[in-house]
């Protein structure tokens, strides 16, 4: 997976991920919305076959919000794996 920064301004951040499916991008955006200072958070897919979603965030700590969102998604995935193993 690769990340390409499309724009990085004060309070705004957009990045395109190559090799990421839309589901993971949307999960990350849902986690970003949990932060209090977020004004805008979205995941846009140019075309369903490209697997290159663009995540855009507008907040005072946009890049940090995205990083913590992926960590939260990872933690939830690990908990789901643990629950599935217990079955």
pLDDT at 46: 80
Q: How many domains does the chain have?
A: 1
Spell out the residues 6+ positions from residue 46 whose beta carbon is closer than 8 angstroms to its own: 52, 54
Look up the CATH number of the domain holding residue 42.
3.30.1360.10
Domain region containing 16:
2-85
The pLDDT value given to residue 74: 95
Q: Tens digit of pLDDT for each residue in 36-45? A: 899 999 999 8
Model confidence, pTM:
0.86
* CA 72 to chain CA centroid, nearest Å: 10
pLDDT score of 54 more than 90: yes
């Amino acid at each position: 997976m690769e990340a390409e920064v499309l724009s990085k301004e004060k309070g705004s951040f957009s990045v395109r991920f190559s090799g990421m499916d839309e589901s993971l991008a949307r999960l990350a955006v849902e986690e970003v919305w949990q932060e209090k200072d977020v004004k805008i958070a979205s995941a846009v897919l140019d075309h369903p076959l490209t697997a290159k979603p663009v995540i855009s965030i507008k907040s005072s700590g946009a890049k940090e919000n995205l990083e913590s969102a992926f960590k939260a998604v990872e933690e939830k995935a690990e908990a789901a794996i643990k629950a599935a193993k217990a079955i």
